[in-house]
Amino acid sequence: MEKQDLSEFRKDQILQAATAVFARLGFHKARMDDIAQEAGLSKGAVYWYFKSKDEIITTILDRFMDRELENIQRISQGDGPIPVRLMKMMKTLAKEIEEISDRMPIIYEFYAIAAREEAIRKTIHRYFGKYTTLLQELIQTGIERGELRDVPPHEAALSLVAQMEGCKLIWILGVFDHPEVDLEKLFISSMNFMLEGLILEV
């Protein structure tokens, strides 16, 4: 394995181990020793690739947010009517979140510490800014194509983001502890309600 490939492999190995440790212990209780043990590496090896626990936390958040944004952008730039693309986007996000449900509490821990950690706050702001912009552009395209009503695109995008985040939160917290309530159904129901107000009747 080449040096660069090994470096990326080790970073991924450490980040996966750190994600498991953080999900189990939380950010504050987790130690670099715990991460090293989970990764099967020495603590010195972990510090070789990451200077601190905070750097690991920020990198995990960056990667998670970037992956979500890539998927949103791929769907938003695809083919088909705008309402269909919006629905596909929600289904894709729901499926991905359900696949990493054991790690989702980490995301909300990010939100909790964002109030006092500027680096985390900037990353989250960047994510939601790009997320909202992509939705706004998609909604604007739908308006211009006569598929959606002439509504303020930015406000509609913000409303949609708020709905999706609310769905994720009550799903993660198990607010509605019922076997028939799953994230995809929540996302689809919310999107259907939104589209009923957005789709232009012809």
Residues 58, 42 share a domain:
no
Residues 82, 60 share a domain:
yes
Boundary (domain end) residue, out of 33, 51, 69:
51
Residues 45, 29 share a domain:
yes
> In CATH, what number is assigned to the domain containing residue 113?
1.10.357.10
Q: Per-residue confidence of the chain (202 residues) as pLDDT tens digits? A: 556 677 899 999 999 999 999 988 888 899 999 999 999 999 999 999 999 998 999 899 898 888 888 988 888 888 889 999 988 888 888 887 777 777 777 877 888 888 888 888 888 999 999 999 999 999 999 999 999 989 899 999 999 898 888 877 777 776 666 555 677 777 777 777 777 777 655 4
Helices (H) and strands (E) in the chain, counts: 9, 0
Please tell me the predicted confidence (pLDDT) of residue 139: 93
Report helix, strand or coil for 148: strand
> In CATH, what number is assigned to the domain containing residue 39?
1.10.10.60
Residues 128, 146 share a domain:
yes
Q: From CA 58, how far away is CA 188, in angstroms rounded?
A: 31
Q: From CA 185, how far away is CA 50, in angstroms rounded?
A: 39
What separation in angstroms does the CA of 88 have from each of 47, 57, 94, 98, 154? 41, 30, 10, 15, 20
Domain count, the chain: 2
Residues 23, 89 share a domain:
no
Q: Which two tokens stand for residue 48?
A: 């070789």
Give the CA-trace dihedral at 129, 132, 134, 138, to 10 degrees: -160
Please tell me the predicted confidence (pLDDT) of residue 202: 46
The gap between the terminal CA atoms of the chain, to the nearest Å, is 60
Residues 69, 109 share a domain:
yes
Which structural domain range is residue 123 located in?
53-198
Q: From CA 71, how far away is CA 94, in angstroms rounded?
A: 12
Residues 66, 1 share a domain:
no
